[in-house]
DNA sequence: GCCGTTTTCGGCCCGACTGTTTTCAGTCG
C-alpha cells in the first residue's frame, strides 16, 4: 500500500513549499492531498491500475497535477519535484511536524542560520544557547524548543476513542463538581466518535474564566501546561494526548459547539454556505452584518438557518453529508437505545474471564432482550477453543440456565474460518446453534484474491449468520487483511450473513469507511462487543458511534430487531 | 495546485495564543 508513503511525501512537500510565502496556497493543496490520501481506505495503486489518472482525480483534493505526480511515483518509485525540493531543503520536516510550536518557517530560518536539519541538531543548538541570538528568537523560544522536544517523546500517536472518551468524561465531571462552570460539553473528534482521538476538546460556560483555567491545569491527570489564556488553555495529559479547554460566552455556546466539533473540512464547507447566504460564521455566532442571529441558540439552529437538516456530529466529515442536509435527506441514525441485545460474547469456557451466569446477569443489567454466548472453536487453541462435543455439552448447561433468567440466551459460537474457507466445526453442530459467527484468526498473510475467496467460501456454506471482525485490523497495531470488501458484501447480502461491527475499542471493525462502502450493497450489520468479561458490554456505544459514522439506521442492524424477528433472520 | 449554481480566473476559514516585537509573524486547530 503506497498510501502512507505518498501522504508522507505530500505532507513533507507541504512543509517545504510553506517556507515560501508565494507558494502558500500551493502548499495547502499538498497538505489537503496528503490528508485525503491518508484517510483513503482503498489502495491508491489499485485505483490507478483500475481507473488510471481519471480515478486518481476522483480523490478529493487531487487534480491533474497531483494525479500526474502520483502516477510518476507509482510507476517509477520516485517523484522528481520532491527530490528537487529535498535537495533545496534537506530538513526532516516529518520529524519536526511531530513537535508543537515549530513550523516550517522557523525550521527554515534555523536551517539557513545554523544548518539545523533534525530534532537532534535542534536540541544540541538550544542546549548550547545558539538559538537565542537568531533574530526572531529569544531566550523564551529557546526554552520552549527544549520543552517541546521533551514532549515529542511523551506524546504518543492518536489514542483510542475509548481512552479519550473516558478521560474527557472524567474531566467534565471534575469541572462540573467545582461549581464554577454552568455548562460543560465534550466537542472535537471525541464527540464525532472518531476511532482515535488526537486531542480532547472541552467547552464550558463560566463567569470566572481565570478560576476555571486554574482548576483545569490542576486536574490530577495533567502532566504539563502547554498554553494558558483566559479563553483557551491547553494541557498535556498523562494518557499521552493534549486537551483544550475553552471558556465560551453563553450567547455563543451553540456556534462554539458547532465550530469546535468539526471536522475541519466539514466546517470549511459549512462556512462557505454561510458566505453564500451573506452571513459570516465563526465560533462566536452566525452574523448578518454585525448582528449575531444565533444568539443563545443551539447548534442545530445554525444548520436550519442555512437551509440544511441538522447534521449529527458523527456524520460531520465532509463525506457528502452537507449535500444530503441541503436536500433534506439526512437519515435518522441508529441510537444506542435501539440495541436489543449483544450477539458476540465469550465466557470462561473459552478465553473469557467470567462465568456464563455472570455474563447473563451483566447482560440483564443492560436491559437487553437477548444475548448470544459465542465461544471460540478448537482451531484457536490459545483461546481454549472448544470442539463439537464440548459445544454440545456446554449447550445443555445453557438450556438448564434458560428458565432461571428472564432474558433469551442464544446458543452460538465464534467459529474459525480455516485457510480454505471451511468452518472449524461440523455442519450438524453449527446447524444446532442459534447464532454462528465466523471469523478469520489465523493464516492472515494472504493476498487479496486468496483471502477474499476464503471468506466468501465461508459465507457460501450458508451456515454463517455473522461475519466476525471482517478485516481483522487492530488500531495502531495490526493492518487489516487484504480483502475485497465489495465482493464479500455481495455474498453476505445473498446469503443473509450480517457483517459485524465489532465494538471492542482496538477493533472497531468494520470501521466507518468500510460501513459506507459495504452498505451500498444492502448488507445487514450486527453490532457486538466481543466481550471477554462483564465490563466489555459497555463498549456497545463505541460500536453504535461507528455505525452512526457509517450513516446506519436501525433498519440496517439485526440486533435492533425484536427476538421473534431476529430468530427468523438467523434461520435465514 | 485545486476548484466551480460567482465555472477556466481568482479566490483559497479565521481567531487565539505566544514571543519578540513596538505593531507583528508564526503556529495551531
- Give the least confident one: A117-121, A127-131, A144-148, A385-389: A144-148
- Ordered DSSP codes for A32-48: HHHHHHHT--S-HHHHH
A38 confidence band (pLDDT: 50, 70, 90): confident
CA distance A221 to A242: 11
Nucleotide nearest A17, CA–C1', reads B1
CB A487 within 8 A of CB A512: no
Q: Which nucleotide is nearest to A65 (CA to C1')?
A: B1
pLDDT given for residue A241 in this prediction: 87
Residue A275 has pLDDT above 90, yes or no: no
Residue A157 pLDDT greater than 80, yes or no: no
Please give the mean pLDDT across all residues of chain A: 92
Please name the CATH architecture into which domain A336-570 falls.
Answer: Alpha-Beta Barrel (3.20)
Residue nearest to nucleotide B6 (CA to C1'): A276
Fold (topology level) of A2-155? DNA polymerase; domain 1 (1.10.150)
Query: Protein A341 CA to nucleic acid B17 C1', in Å?
Result: 48
For chain A, what percent of residues have pLDDT higher than 90? 71
Note the pLDDT tens digit of each residue in A494-534. 999 999 999 999 999 999 999 999 999 999 999 999 999 99
Within chain A, all domains assigned CATH 1.10.150.110 are found at 2-155
Angstrom distance, A568 CA to B18 C1': 64
A258-326 CATH choice from 3.40.50.9100, 3.30.210.10, 3.40.1280.10, 3.40.50.720? 3.30.210.10
CA end-to-end span of chain A: 37
Q: How far apart are CA A377 and CA A387, in angstroms?
A: 6
In this structure, the number of other CB atoms found within 10 A of the CB of residue A442 comes to: 14
| Tens-place pLDDT, residues A393-431 | 999 999 999 889 999 999 999 999 999 999 999 999 999
Question: Burial, A373: exposed, middle or buried (Cβ in 10 Å; 0-12, 13-18, 19+)?
Answer: buried
Q: Where are the domain boundaries for CATH 3.30.460.10 in chain A? A: 159-247
CA of A284, C1' of B15: distance in angstroms: 10
**Residue A156 confidence (pLDDT):** 58
B28 C1': nearest CA residue: A101
- For chain A, residues classed under CATH 3.30.210.10 are 258-326
Q: What is the pLDDT of residues A349-369, one digit of tens each?
A: 999 999 999 999 999 999 999
Phi, psi of A96 (to 5 degrees): -65, -30
| Cell numbers found for residue A525 | 450489520
Closest CA to the C1' of B14: that residue is A282
> Straight-line distance from CA A282 to C1' B15, in Å?
9
Q: What is the distance in angstroms measured between the alpha-carbon CA of A326 and the sugar C1' of B5?
A: 14
The Cα A267–Cα A259 span in angstroms is 7
Indicate the DSSP class of residue A204: E
- Taking only the tens place, the pLDDT of each residue in A470-499 is 999 998 778 889 899 999 999 999 999 999
Nearest nucleotide relative to A25: CA against C1': B12
Nearest residue for B25, CA–C1': A136
pLDDT category, A154, cuts 50, 70, 90?
Answer: low
pLDDT at A1 over 80: no
Nucleotides of B under 7 A from a protein CB: 1-3, 6, 11-21, 25-29
pLDDT for the residue numbered A183: 94
Q: What is the mean pLDDT of residues A109-128?
A: 92
pLDDT score for A155:
60
Nearest to A200 by CA among A231, A252, A162: A162
Say which nucleotide is closest to residue A108, CA to C1' distance. B26
Q: What is the pLDDT of residue A375?
A: 97
Residue A51's H or E segment, with its range, is helix A44-57
Please name the nucleotide lying closest to A228, CA to C1'. B17
Q: Where do the CATH 3.20.20.140 domains begin and end in chain A?
A: 336-570
Closest nt by CA–C1' to A142: B19
User: If pLDDT is split at 50, 70 and 90, which confidence band does A240 have?
Assistant: confident
CA/C1' separation A101–B18 (Å): 9
CATH code of the region A159-247: 3.30.460.10
CA of A29 to C1' of B20 (A): 31
Amino acid at each position: 500500500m503506497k498510501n502512507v508513503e505518498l501522504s508522507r511525501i505530500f505532507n513533507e512537500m507541504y512543509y517545504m513549499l510553506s517556507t515560501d510565502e508565494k507558494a502558500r496556497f500551493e502548499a495547502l493543496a499538498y497538505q489537503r492531498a496528503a490528508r485525503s490520501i491518508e484517510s483513503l481506505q482503498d489502495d491508491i495503486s489499485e485505483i490507478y491500475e483500475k481507473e488510471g489518472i481519471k480515478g486518481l482525480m476522483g480523490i478529493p483534493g487531487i487534480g491533474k497535477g497531483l494525479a500526474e505526480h502520483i502516477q510518476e511515483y507509482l510507476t517509477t518509485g520516485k517523484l522528481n519535484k520532491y527530490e528537487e525540493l529535498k535537495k533545496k531543503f534537506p530538513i526532516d520536516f516529518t520529524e519536526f511536524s511531530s513537535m508543537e510550536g515549530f513550523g516550517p518557517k522557523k525550521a527554515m530560518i534555523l536551517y539557513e542560520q545554523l544548518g539545523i536539519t533534525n530534532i537532534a541538531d535542534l536540541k544540541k543548538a538550544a542546549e548550547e544557547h545558539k538559538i537565542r541570538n537568531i533574530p526572531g528568537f529569544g531566550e523564551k523560544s529557546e526554552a520552549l524548543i527544549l520543552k517541546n522536544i521533551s514532549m515529542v517523546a511523551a506524546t504518543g500517536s492518536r489514542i483510542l476513542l475509548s481512552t479519550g472518551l473516558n478521560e474527557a468524561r472524567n474531566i467534565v465531571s471534575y469541572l462540573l463538581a467545582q461549581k464554577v462552570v454552568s455548562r460543560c460539553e465534550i466537542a472535537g473528534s471525541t464527540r464525532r466518535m472518531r476511532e482515535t482521538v488526537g486531542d480532547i476538546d472541552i467547552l464550558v460556560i463560566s463567569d470566572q474564566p481565570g478560576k476555571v483555567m486554574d482548576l483545569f491545569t490542576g486536574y490530577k491527570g495533567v502532566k504539563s501546561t502547554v498554553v494558558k489564556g483566559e479563553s483557551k488553555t491547553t494541557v498535556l495529559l498523562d494518557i499521552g494526548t493534549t486537551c483544550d479547554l475553552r471558556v465560551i460566552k453563553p450567547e455563543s455556546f451553540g456556534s462554539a459547539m458547532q465550530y469546535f466539533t468539526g471536522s475541519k473540512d466539514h466546517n470549511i464547507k459549512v462556512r462557505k454556505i454561510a458566505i453564500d447566504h451573506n452571513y459570516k460564521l465563526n465560533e462566536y455566532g452566525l452574523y448578518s452584518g454585525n448582528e449575531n442571529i444565533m444568539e443563545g441558540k443551539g447548534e442545530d439552529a445554525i444548520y436550519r438557518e442555512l437551509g440544511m437538516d441538522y447534521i449529527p456530529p458523527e456524520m460531520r466529515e465532509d463525506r457528502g453529508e452537507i449535500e444530503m442536509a441541503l436536500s433534506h435527506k439526512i437519515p435518522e441514525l441508529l441510537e444506542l437505545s435501539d440495541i436489543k441485545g449483544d450477539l458476540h460474547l465469550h465466557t470462561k469456557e473459552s478465553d473469557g474471564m467470567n462465568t456464563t451466569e455472570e455474563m447473563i446477569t451483566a447482560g440483564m443489567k443492560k436491559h437487553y432482550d437477548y444475548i448470544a454466548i459465542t465461544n471460540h472453536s478448537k482451531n484457536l487453541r490459545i483461546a481454549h477453543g472448544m470442539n463439537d462435543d464440548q459445544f454440545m455439552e456446554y449447550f445443555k448447561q445453557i438450556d438448564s440456565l434458560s428458565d432461571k433468567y428472564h432474558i433469551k440466551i442464544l446458543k452460538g459460537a465464534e467459529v474459525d474460518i480455516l485457510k480454505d474457507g471451511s468452518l472449524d466445526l461440523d455442519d450438524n453442530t453449527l446447524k444446532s446453534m442459534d447464532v454462528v459467527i465466523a471469523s478469520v484468526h489465523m493464516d492472515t498473510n494472504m493476498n487479496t484474491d486468496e483471502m477474499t475467496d476464503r471468506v466468501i467460501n465461508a459465507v457460501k456454506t450458508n451456515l454463517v449468520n455473522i461475519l466476525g471482525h471482517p478485516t481483522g485490523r487492530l488500531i495502531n497495531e495490526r493492518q487489516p487483511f487484504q480483502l475485497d470488501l465489495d465482493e464479500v458484501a455481495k455474498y453476505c447480502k445473498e446469503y443473509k450473513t450480517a457483517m459485524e461491527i465489532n465494538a471492542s475499542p482496538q477493533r472497531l471493525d468494520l470501521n466507518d469507511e468500510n460501513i459506507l462502502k459495504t452498505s451500498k450493497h444492502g448488507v445487514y450489520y450486527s453490532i457486538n462487543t466481543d466481550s471477554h468479561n462483564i465490563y466489555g458490554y459497555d463498549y456497545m456505544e463505541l460500536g453504535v458511534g461507528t455505525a452512526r459514522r457509517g450513516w446506519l439506521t436501525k433498519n440496517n442492524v439485526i440486533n435492533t430487531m425484536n427476538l421473534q424477528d431476529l430468530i427468523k433472520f438467523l434461520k435465514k
